[in-house]
Amino acid sequence: MLKVPDHQVAGHQACDGMVGPLVDDSGHFYKPLQNSERGSAEVAFYTSFSSNNKIPNHILRFFPLFHGTRLIEASDGSGLHPHLVLQDVVSSYHNPSIMDIKIGSRTWYPEASDEYIQKCFKKDRESTSLALGFRISGLQVHGSKESGFWKPDKKLIKNFTAKDVRLILRKFVSSNASADSGVDPDCSFASTVYGGSNGILAQLLELKAWFEDQTIFHFYSCSVLMIYSKDSVSKGRSSGAEVKLVDFAHVVEGKGIIDHNFLGGLCSLIKFISEI
C-alpha cells in the first residue's frame, strides 16, 4: 500500500494538493518525475550511475538503490504519473533523526536559463550556501516517546546563519534538542553518531576522498542526508548512522574535471562537524 512518507524533511512534499513522493511497505520510495527536463535528467543519471563500472563498490552505498521507473497514481489523485522507484533510505529506522544538507556554494547547473540562475543565486546568497558552501534544507530530531520530533519550520531554516548552522549540528546529536534557543545542546550522542570508524564524519571523509579524484559527474543542487536512530544509541546499541546522497536532477558530465563546487562544500561540512 502506498502512503505519504512520515519522515520527509525537505523537497517537494505531498500536501496541500501538491504532488509529492510516496513509500510502500517494501522499502521503496516513489519520487514523481518532474515534467520539465529535470525528470528525464534524473532518470538518465540513475541509469548511467547504476551501470557505470567505474564507480567503486564502497561509493555505491552512499546512493539510494535504483529500481527503474513506474507509472503509479499520483499522491494528489490526479491520475497515473511516472515515478522513480528508489530505495527508501529511512525505512529500516525507528524514529529516525534526519538532516538534509544541500551541498555547494553554487546550486545552478551550467546550462540553466538566466531566470533559473538568478533564482538559485538569490537563494544561495540569502542562505549559508555562498558563505559556507552548504546549507541546511530540513531536519528532524527525535526527542522521546513523549516529546516526539523537533522539526524546525521551513521559514526558520531558510534564515539560518553560520552561527545557527553550528548550533543545529550540535542539537542534531543532543539529548535535549528543542526549539528553546536558551538550552545549551549537550551533544551527548556526538561521539557515537559523528565519531568512530563507522560514524558520519568517517563516511563523509570517505566521500571526500572519492570526490578528490572523480571526474565523471558534477553534482549541482545535490543533498547529503545524515540519518541515525537515537533510540538505538540510548539503549547502548549502534546508532546506525548513515550518509546518503540524494536529488540528482541537475547532475552533469564531469568531462575530466574535478567537481570543486561539491568538494568544497563537503570539506566545509566536514570541518564544521569535526569542530563539535
What is the structure's pLDDT at 236? 58
* Segment 152-164 mean pLDDT: 94
Instruction: Say how far apart CA 267 and CA 134 lie, in whole Å.
Output: 10
73: phi then psi, degrees, rounded to nearest 5 = -65, 125
Instruction: Tell me the average pLDDT of the chain.
Output: 92
Q: 12 pLDDT exceeds 90?
A: no
Query: Is pLDDT above 60 for 220?
Result: yes
What's the pLDDT score for residue 40?
Answer: 92
Q: What percent of the chain has pLDDT over 90?
A: 78
162-171 vs 260-274: helix crossing angle, rounded to 10 = 60
Output the nine-digit C-alpha cell for 5: 512518507
Check residue 14 and give its pLDDT. 65
Q: Which residue has the cell 524514529?
A: 95
Kindly list the structural domains of the chain, giving each domain's residue range(s) and its CATH number in brackets, ordered by start. Answer: 22-87 (no CATH), 96-274 (3.30.470.160)
pLDDT band at residue 145 under the 50/70/90 scheme: confident
Taking the C-alpha atoms of residue 229 and residue 92, their distance in angstroms, rounded to an integer, is: 10
pLDDT at residue number 147: 78
Residue 186: exposure state from Cβ atoms within 10 A (0-12, 13-18, ≥19): middle
Question: What does the block give as the cell for 154?
Answer: 521551513
pLDDT at 199: 96
Confidence of residue 156 (pLDDT cuts 50, 70, 90): very high
Q: What does pTM read for this prediction?
A: 0.94
Query: Is there a contact between 166 and 156 (Cβ–Cβ < 8 Å)?
Result: no
Q: Contact, 266 vs 272, CB < 8 A?
A: no
Q: Please check the confidence at residue 244 and state whether its pLDDT lies above 60.
A: yes
